[in-house]
Amino acid sequence: MSRVGIYGGTFDPIHRGHLHVITQLFEKDLIDQLLLVPAGQPLLRVMEPTASAEQRRKMCELAVSELPEGIRNKVQVNPIEILRQGPSYAIDTVEAVISTFPDDQIYLILGADAFSKIDQWHRANELQKIVKIICINRPGYPATGIEIGALDAAATSIRQGLSADVPEIVAAFIRENGLYDNQ
C-alpha cells in the first residue's frame, strides 16, 4: 500500500513555502507520492485567482521541475480540478483519487489556515472519514498539526510585489506573462 498525498491550493502563484512543504513531506517520510492539485474555482477565497487556471498549472509544473530529482520524480501536477466544470470541492477530488488509487492510503495535505476552515467545506464530515489529513503548521496560525519549519511566504505578498519568494523559473514565467502587474 502506497501513501498518496493530495496537496491542493490556488497556487496563485506557487512559492517557496509550498515547495518547502512538498520537500518536508518526503524528508519526514509522511507520503510516498504526491499529487499537486491547482484549484479550479476555489470557493473559500474572497477574490478570484489573478492567474488563469492554466497559468497556475504551468507555474506548478515549472516549480516542481526545480525540486531535487528524488522528490521531483514522486510529484505529479494533477489538473483534475482545473479541468472540472463548476466549483472545486475537495471531496470530489478525493473520491476521484481514491478510484484511481483504490489500494492506497490517501492523505489530504492542508496548511493550518485551510484546516481551520475545514468545517465550512462541502461534505466536510464525509471527507474526513475517507481520507487522512496531514495538517501543516504555518506561521501566524495556531499550531494544530505537524511542525516542518514552514516558511513565512504568502502568495498575496508576491502578487503585491512585496516578496520574491518564488523560484526564478516561476518569476520568469510571471514576468513573461505580465502576471500581478496591476495588483
Give mean pLDDT, residues 173-183: 87
Q: Phi then psi for 65, rounded to 5 degrees?
A: -65, -15
Higher-scoring residue by pLDDT: 3, 160: 3
pTM greater than 0.75:
yes
Helices (H) and strands (E) in the chain, counts: 9, 5
Instruction: Assess whether pLDDT exceeds 60 at residue 74.
Output: yes
Q: What is the pLDDT of residue 34?
A: 98
Nearest CA-CA partner of 62 in 6, 7, 10, 14: 14
- The pLDDT tens digits of the residues spanning 92-126 come to 999 999 999 999 999 999 999 899 999 999 999 99
35 bridge partner residues = 6, 76
- The pLDDT tens digits of the residues spanning 27-48 come to 999 999 999 999 987 765 667 8
Domains of the chain from N-terminus onward: 3-176 (3.40.50.620)
Residue 1 parent element (H or E): none
Instruction: Assess whether pLDDT exceeds 60 at residue 183.
Output: no
Higher-scoring residue by pLDDT: 183, 162: 162
Q: Are strands 105-111 and 132-136 parallel, antiparallel or unpaired?
A: parallel
Query: Is there a contact between 39 and 32 (Cβ–Cβ < 8 Å)?
Result: no
Query: Is there a contact between 14 and 67 (Cβ–Cβ < 8 Å)?
Result: no
Q: What is the pLDDT of residue 45?
A: 63
Cα radius of gyration rounded to whole Å, the chain: 15
C-alpha cell recorded at residue 166: 518564488
Q: What is the pLDDT of residue 76?
A: 98
Q: What is the pLDDT of residue 47?
A: 76
**If you write DSSP's letter for every residue of 23-80 in order, what string do you get?**
HHHHHTT--SEEEEEE-SS-SS-SS--SS-HHHHHHHHHHHHHTS-HHHHTTEEE--H
